[in-house]
Amino acid sequence: MKKLLLFVISLIVISCSGQEDKTVNNKTKKMDSNRKMEQLVFGGGCFWCVESCFNMLNGVESAVSGYAGGHKDHPTYEEVSTGETGHAEVVQINYDPTVISYEQLMEVFFFLHDPTQLNRQGNDVGTQYRSVIFYKDEAEKAKAQAAIKLSESSGKWNGKYVTELAPLEKFWTAESYHQGYYNQNPNQPYCSAVVGPKIQKFKKYFGEKGWLEAEAQ
Nearest CA among 21, 67, 70 for reference residue 195: 21
Q: Where are the alpha helices (DSSP H) in the chain?
A: 2-13, 47-54, 77-81, 102-112, 138-154, 181-184, 189-190, 196-208
Alpha helices, DSSP H only, in 24-101?
A: 47-54, 77-81
**Rounded distance, CA 104 to CA 93, Å?**
12
Rounded to 5°, the CA angle 42-38-216 comes to 70
67 strand-pairing partners: 89, 172
Backbone angles phi, psi at 68, to 5 degrees: -155, 160
Catalytic residue among 46, 49, 53, 191: 46
Rounded Cα distance, 187 and 202, in Å = 19
Query: Does the annotation count 53 as an active-site position?
Result: no
Residues with a catalytic annotation lie at 46
